[in-house]
Amino acid sequence: MKKNIIQGLLLLFVCFQAYSQRAETLDNYMNELFNKNAFNGNILVAEKGTIVYQKSFGLANEKTQEKLNLQTCFELASVSKQFTAMGIVQLQKKGKLSYDDKISKYIPELSFYNNVTILNLLTHTGGLPDYMDLMEKEWDKTKIATNDDVIKVFEKLRPSPLFTPNDKWEYSNTGYMLLATIIERVIKKSYGEYLNEVIFKPLKMQNTFVYRRWFKPEIKNNYASGYFFSKELNRKFTPDELGNEFYVVYLDGIVGDGMVNSNLEDLLKWDRALYGNTLITDTDRKMIFSSYEMSGQRSTDYGFGWMLTNSPDYGKIALHSGSWGGYVTYIERHLDNDKTIILLQNNALSTTEMPTKKIRLILYGKPLEQKIKIDNSILQQCEGKYLTDTGKTKEIVYESGKIYVPVSPEEKYELIPVSQTKFIIDGFQPEVSYEFTFDNTGKVIKYRVQQPEQGLDYEAKKI
C-alpha cells in the first residue's frame, strides 16, 4: 500500500514538472510574440480539461488603456459557425428538421436553388455565391443589413450557383447565414435567444452571447474592441471610424456565419461538453466530427462547423479560425489526445500571427523548428496578380516582410516558407502549398497550388 502511494506521488510530481516546463516554454514564446507586436489577446492551452497555460497579453481598449484579462470577451467571427451547426443538430434531434431537407422548405424565396440541402450548407458543399460580394455591389450602405435583407437580394438577383451541390467544397459564409435563418424560422425565436436556450445556458456559458454592436448597440463590460492598423494614420483604428461604407459595419446585422462572442473560460466549457453527453450523443458526435464524401470520392475534410485533419504526430484534430472586425480567433481540439488550444486576439495587424504550429510542438514536447529566412526582395517578387487557366484572377500581397493570400476583404492567410520557393498556408489543414517559379532574371512567372487531400492542383501565371 505504502509503495503504491509513493509511486502515485512520483507520477504526480513528474506530471507537474512536465506541465511546468511546457507552461514556461509557452510563456517564453508568447512573450516573444507580444514583444514583437505579433500577438495581442488571450491564450488557453489545456490537456484533458486541465489548464496547462493561460494568459492575457495587451490591451482590450486602446482609448481607455484597459488591459485584457482572462475573463475578457471577444467576437469569435467564423468560430461562431460551430455553434450555428450545433443549433441545427439540436433541431434535428428534436425532429424539427432533417439534414436532407432542401433549404427551399424553410426559405421558399430561394427555391431556385432547388437541390441544396441543409447538409450541403453544414459542410460547405452547396455551391451558393458569396453574399458579401453581392452585398458590396447591391446594398444601400446607409442601412445595416440582416439575414432577411440578404435573402431578398438573392431572391431579386437570382445569382447562379458556383457549382452543382456536392460537386465541390468551397467555404461559404452564405451557407451558415442561411442555417441561422432556418433556425429562426423553425423555432420562431431569434438566433441569439435560441443558442442561449439550447447551448449557452445548459453549459453555464455565462459570458457567451450573440452581439451586433452597430445593429443593436449595448454596453458590454470587460469586452475587447477589435483593431486594424492604418499606415496613413500610423495608428490602430476600429471599424466604426470608417463609417457605414465599411463592410464590417453595414453587414453587422447578419448572424450564423459570425456574431457569437465568448471568452476563454466558456470556450473550455464548450470543449469539455463536446466530449460528454449533455448536448449530443455518440451518433451526433460522429456526424459533427466526420468528413463528408463529395462526387468523385473526394472528402470535404470539414464536418459540422469544424475543419478536420489527421496527423501522424497529433492524431485527429478538429479546428476552426475566425477573422472579422479586427478580431482573429482560433480553437483547436485534438480528439485522439484530448488537448485544446484557444487563441482570441483583438488586433488584426500586418504583424499579427496565429502561432498554432509552434504551440502544438511545445504541447507535445517536440523540438521547435528553425524559421527559414527569405530575403524581402524575393518575397516582393511574389506579390502581384495571377491568372488561372480558368480565367480567375488571384492575388498575393506583401506586407512587412511577409506574403499573404487574401480570401476576403477582411481575411488573409499568411504563407510560411518551407524552402526558398515553396510556402504553406499558416495553420491551414489539410496543408495547402504554394510553389513559385522564377525565370532566369529572378522574376516570378507563376505559382502552383496543391492540396492533395482535396484534389487541388492548379497553376496561376503572373500578370
pLDDT tens, position by position, 251-287: 999 999 999 999 999 999 999 999 999 999 999 999 9
Would you call 20 a catalytic residue per the annotation? Answer: no
Confidence of residue 104 (pLDDT cuts 50, 70, 90): very high
Mean confidence (pLDDT) of the chain: 92
Q: Amino acid identity of 259?
A: M
The pLDDT value given to residue 392? 84
3-class DSSP state for residue 5?
Answer: helix
pLDDT at 149 over 60: yes
Distance CA 329, CA 30 (A): 16
* DSSP of 68-134: P-TT-BEE-GGGGHHHHHHHHHHHHHTTS--TTSBGGGT-GGGTTSTT-BHHHHHHT-S-PPPHHHH
pLDDT at 5 over 70: no
Whether the Cβ atoms of residue 84 and residue 93 lie closer than 8 Å to each other: no
The pLDDT value given to residue 208? 98
Whether the Cβ atoms of residue 62 and residue 225 lie closer than 8 Å to each other: yes
Where helices occur in 188-234 by DSSP H, the ranges are: 191-195
Mean pLDDT of 174-180: 98
Burial of 163 (0-12, 13-18, 19+ CB in 10 A): middle
What totals of helices (H) and strands (E) does the chain contain, helices first? 12, 21
The pLDDT value given to residue 372? 85
pLDDT at 16 over 70: no
C-alpha closest to that of 299 among 309, 310, 291: 291
* Percent of residues, the chain, with pLDDT higher than 90: 79
C-alpha closest to that of 129 among 109, 158, 101: 158
Mean pLDDT of 65-87: 98
Widest pairwise Cα distance in the chain: 78
Model pLDDT for residues 354-393, shown as the tens digit of each residue: 899 899 999 999 887 777 889 999 999 999 999 998 888 9
Helix or strand (DSSP H, E) at 45 = strand 41-47
Instruction: Centre a 10 Å sphere on the Cβ of residue 384 and count the other Cβ atoms it contains.
Output: 14
Q: Of 56, 78, 262, 321, which residue is the catalytic one?
A: 78
User: Does residue 161 have a cis bond before it (omega within 30 degrees)?
Assistant: no
Q: Look at 313 and 9; give whichever has higher pLDDT.
A: 313
Residues sharing a CB contact under 8 Å with residue 16, sequence separation 6 or more, in sequence order: none
pLDDT at 80 over 50: yes
Burial of 422 (0-12, 13-18, 19+ CB in 10 A): middle
Q: Look at 344 and 20; give whichever has higher pLDDT.
A: 344
Mean pLDDT of 185-205: 98
Distance CA 110, CA 107 (A): 6
The pLDDT value given to residue 13? 47
The pLDDT value given to residue 272? 98
C-alpha closest to that of 461 among 406, 376, 403, 389: 389
Distance CA 188, CA 194 (A): 9
Burial of 370 (0-12, 13-18, 19+ CB in 10 A): exposed
> At which residue does the C-alpha cell 476576403 appear?
408
